[in-house]
Structure 1
């Protein structure tokens, strides 16, 4: 495939939004990749195809895959109730909350960051410093003793705490820490050799710092804006290429059986008119057919988008180490390839 239209469109968008990050497009055996901006603005270290980016909630797909693997092994069922698979007290949670509810954002449990009540994610760390958030258990004080927001199964409400709880279930059922489990049974199996759950005060090579724009037009890093280590709701570092590898291996049934892969990718609940949610990802539907699968993630200094078209094998991943830009870039690429 020729990517001349993509290049021209990207150059135009770059001038408009000052995009910083990596684009990776693959259609069958044809690959296009380009990087912009700096992984380290101070040292003028440029982003490149092997740069590792934080992808925030784009990681929820890993948590969903892990849960599905444990279901395959007979260690869980989607209908298993939370009270029956996790030895952590949640005094005000509905006892009818199931693994399925948690996967589909329909559990009704309280979130640790409620977007209806808080505008700024950084406000969380006034209550508890982000440098203390290194384990999934460290998130519990934010929501463990709060009241239900809605009855279990009643409605879709995007919720990070649900995926923290799923991570805690994975830890208890598997005997691994969450990050070790994902790195061993997902990243390693998918050949995602550059990906991992790294601590921000102990980063390996080729990791892009996340940048937040200041009122004066300059930039600061996001080191004081997000947890020091990501978890089951988001926070892994990946290369754009690794995310395509993950999707290809998932689609080729290397991470789950065919039956379980189809379960993961089945629309479970309607979010908007043509947008549905499965297990850990969104999908756009045209009547009863999936047009594309969608992953997205946002944190201060992090912006991630990915789309995967099952009919044409078109896979597009956009990783940005700034708070915005990924949506404009991935939209432009899709328009250029029409």
Structure 2
């Protein structure tokens, strides 16, 4: 199986010149751990086991876990209304928006990057330079005065702004910055020693630069495409082994009690995909009457990430890339090879 997996991953790598790291485990047994491409193309520094990668929206799960921790401590409930737990001015927001709505992308609020009217992330920073976005409150002017897109609870509509609001609630209730809360209450508890929220213009050692490739073979880094520092909707940097530790800590109830872990992994709302559902910060795919996989993913300019846990086989897969695409193709090859046999 290991040889076939490596061959399939290599095929995917050759198709799109994949750059990044791949880790596959069955329970605690390592199946594949491999690296491709450069963390720094100019200096020809290769990606390796310890390379940190941005994971974009993959870290919405961190935010959801943090909210569940605060609910578990009695600081708020999933039915607490936004207007009752966050100080701020949102003149057009529905008064019935709850924490549950924000967690499940059903709040109906406007997003700060509206994919229906924008297709280039860099357009977002024309009036608000990305180097000014270093704290969660810096995102608010981008969406807080816009009208609702739909009624609260009406439908699933993936939304980054909702997770910014959740991060602000975490800051307000914990009296910590969002990144400090996550690092203290999730990263440390899960043993994620090489993960953190870093500023793009001050990246630590062993962190991959994100690359945007053009059809003519040229490229640039993503430093002008993303906020200077990520927040509660995305932007942490991790290693593949740290994400494996996160799955272990979450599934072994080390971050939340069994009750709240179950709550977080509940398929609350159907997404636009027939077999797809969303829990709290996590995507869930069903096959017939069982959970096929729990997965998290993130795609930004210069970032491509996909990770999944398959309950029936206890397989964990983590794919981190410092290019705009490639992770999904690797994931598809992995699933075709191992899941038809394991499931």
Q: TM-score, normalised by structure 1?
A: 0.98
The C-alpha deviation readout for 1:193-233, integer Å capped at 9, x for no partner, is 00000011111110000000134212110011100100000
Secondary structure of the residue aligned to 2:126 is helix
| Structure-2 residue corresponding to 1:28 | 27
| Structure-1 residue corresponding to 2:80 | 80
Whole-Å Cα distance in 2 between the matches of residues 246 and 16 of structure 1?
A: 30
Whole-Å Cα distance in 1 between the matches of residues 46 and 192 of structure 2?
A: 22
| Structure-2 residue corresponding to 1:334 | 335
Secondary structure of the residue aligned to 1:292 is strand
| Structure-1 residue corresponding to 2:156 | 156
The C-alpha deviation readout for 1:264-301, integer Å capped at 9, x for no partner, is 00000011211000000111112442110111101100
Whole-Å Cα distance in 2 between the matches of residues 13 and 226 of structure 1?
A: 27
| Structure-1 residue corresponding to 2:318 | 317
The C-alpha deviation readout for 1:131-181, integer Å capped at 9, x for no partner, is 000000000011010111100000000000000000000000111110000
Q: How does 1:52-201 map to 2 (within 5 A)?
A: 52-201=52-201
Whole-Å Cα distance in 1 between the matches of residues 214 and 10 of structure 2?
A: 25
Which stretch of the first structure deviates more once superposed, 256-265 or 4-13?
4-13
Whole-Å Cα distance in 2 between the matches of residues 100 and 287 of structure 1?
A: 26
Whole-Å Cα distance in 2 between the matches of residues 82 and 9 of structure 1?
A: 46
| Structure-2 residue corresponding to 1:16 | 15
| Structure-2 residue corresponding to 1:306 | 307
What is the RMSD computed on CA atoms of the aligned residues? 0.8
Secondary structure of the residue aligned to 1:294 is strand
The C-alpha deviation readout for 1:1-37, integer Å capped at 9, x for no partner, is x411101111222211100000010112321200000
Whole-Å Cα distance in 1 between the matches of residues 99 and 286 of structure 2?
A: 24
Whole-Å Cα distance in 2 between the matches of residues 243 and 11 of structure 1?
A: 22
Gaps of 5+ in 1: none
Q: How does 1:37-56 map to 2 (within 5 A)?
A: 37-56=37-56
Gaps of 5+ in 2: none
Whole-Å Cα distance in 2 between the matches of residues 82 and 49 of structure 1?
A: 41
The C-alpha deviation readout for 1:64-121, integer Å capped at 9, x for no partner, is 0000000000001000000000011101101100000000000001000011111111
Whole-Å Cα distance in 2 between the matches of residues 85 and 173 of structure 1?
A: 8
Q: How does 1:244-263 map to 2 (within 5 A)?
A: 244-263=244-263
Whole-Å Cα distance in 1 between the matches of residues 155 and 209 of structure 2?
A: 36
Whole-Å Cα distance in 2 between the matches of residues 324 and 283 of structure 1?
A: 21
Whole-Å Cα distance in 2 between the matches of residues 249 and 287 of structure 1?
A: 28
Secondary structure of the residue aligned to 1:118 is coil
